[in-house]
Structure 1
């Protein structure tokens, strides 16, 4: 696991460069996209690359991490709508190549199995963008989630629903269930790029990077992956015991690579 600790204003550009490098190498590549506030700046940085002619995602396939159950697809806060608005339209992607779990399916278990199959058929995800919840969830894999889990139906915790209530009129309007890629599904991606800012995420980051691997902190499963990069700001790094080591390692990395 590589931790890159930066001033907050540099986080998005560095994370976007990592994502862009992977997609260029895999051209056209398969991108894993996340919703929430953390990835928005990364999408904005990718949009700037595209506008400058440095990146083309028109043939790139994409898979979303999750979707609410029962919410209309045209609801502005459905993840299908958010992905269309913040990813597909901004990054010039082909809507036919971008897939979101079907939270309106009559058979949700079948929809989950079909989603897993679609990812496999695409050849797997080359680079997955992740955020992290204050309780350590990735995707909607809440504490107690199996570290080997696949795409499935999950119940959202009260804390997660309250955190997402800012996107709705009231917490009562936030759906209680979702479809989410499992932790095992996420760990299948070739490269995981997690972005986090703020002291509210600091304990989750500490547990993800330095804590024991435990279902209590689902993001701690990232320690089991061979290619994970956490791009975080100083506040999100504030609980790390080895923060100075991570900073020094990143500072020296270019010098080592140039030898």
Structure 2
């Protein structure tokens, strides 16, 4: 694991965007694994700026998102499809046919998961995967005690995750209790991984991820076994290291 500690969220976002841009410049047809939530928003804004300045071209990349809420339509403002389109995709020149996000309303969700992993494999695998981390150590929607072997699958969300995500909804009752998520096996097959974290509330999870015992109780701890992980955190998130 390579640790980069920066002063603040803005620096974290710029550093992450620089790594992503370098990947695309070196390999224009890169397969990008993307995350949602508040953490990567700054990175997406930086990448949009770099695109507008002519520094990076997304025309050949393919993208695979980590997850999507189960039972929410794409046009719902809380869906991750809506998030990606309105915070990133509509501002760059990525081709719509090259965008992949799990279908949270698939009639056969088990088959959707199988097909999603198949598309990743057929693309040649994810070159660089962006991850955030939950306060309970989850990555994607892989909650504590989820099987490390799991590929893309339907996940029942942890109470802490539901409470954390409630800030995006009108009430906690509106927060979906399930999601379709890449599994740990799918994530670990990525060639490179970048994990981003900021704020004191992530300090405990970062400490356990980097220094704790590898355990399903802290899903992100399995990243210790990956051979190319860069963790970018601000000083607050690094305060327990």
**Global fold match (TM > 0.5):** yes
Aligned partners of 2:19, 2:207: CA distance in 1, in Å? 22
Specify the alignment match of 2:172 in structure 1. 171
The answer for the alignment partner of 2:84 in structure 1 is: 83
Match of 1:247 in 2: none
1:60-99 to structure 2, matched below 5 A, reads 60-99=61-100
Equivalent pair of 2:134/2:202 in contact (CA under 8 Å): yes
Does the CA-based 8 Å contact 1:156-1:177 persist in structure 2?
yes
SS in 1 for 2:58: coil
Q: Could you say which residue in structure 1 is the equivalent of 2:32? A: 31
Q: How many residues align?
A: 240
Shift of residue 153, structure 1, vs aligned partner: 0.4
Counterpart position of 2:145: 144
Larger Rg: 1
In the alignment, is the contact (CA less than 8 A) between 1:26 and 1:126 conserved in 2? no
Aligned with 1:89: secondary structure? helix
Q: What do the CA deviations read for 1:25-63 (whole angstroms, capped 9, x no partner)? A: 222211111000000001111111111111001221000
Name the residue aligned to 1:4: 4
- 1:27 is paired with a residue of what secondary structure? coil
For structure 1, the 5+ residue unaligned runs are: 241-259
Which ranges of structure 2 fall in alignment gaps of 5 or more residues?
none
CA deviation after TM superposition for structure 1 residue 144, in Å? 0.3
Q: Deviation digits for residues 92-151 of structure 1, max 9, x if unmatched?
A: 311211011011111110000000000011111111111000000000000001222100
- Following the alignment from structure 1 to structure 2, what is the Cα–Cα distance between the partners of residues 171 and 230? 31
The aligned residue for residue 56 of structure 2 is: 55
Is 1:237–2:232 an aligned residue pair?
no
How large is the RMSD of aligned CA atoms in angstroms? 0.9
Contact 2:68 2:104 in 1 (8 A): yes
Q: Which residue pairs with 2:109 in the alignment? A: 108
SS in 2 for 1:3: strand
**Does structure 1 retain, via aligned residues, the 8 Å contact 2:24–2:57?**
no
Listed one character per residue, the Cα deviations across residues 198-225 of structure 1 (whole Å, up to 9, x for unaligned) are 0000010001111111101000011110
Q: Is contact 1:147-1:215 (8 Å) kept?
A: yes
The CA distance in 2 between the partners of 1:136 and 1:91, in whole Å, is 31
**4+ residue runs of structure 1 moved beyond 4 angstroms?**
none
TM-score by length of 2: 0.97
Q: Which residue is equivalent to 1:123?
A: 124
In structure 1, C-alpha distance between the alignment counterparts of 2:221 and 2:55, rounded to whole Å: 34
| Distance of 1:83 and 1:50 partners within structure 2 | 16
1:159 Cα shift?
1.1
Tell me the TM-score normalized by structure 1. Answer: 0.91
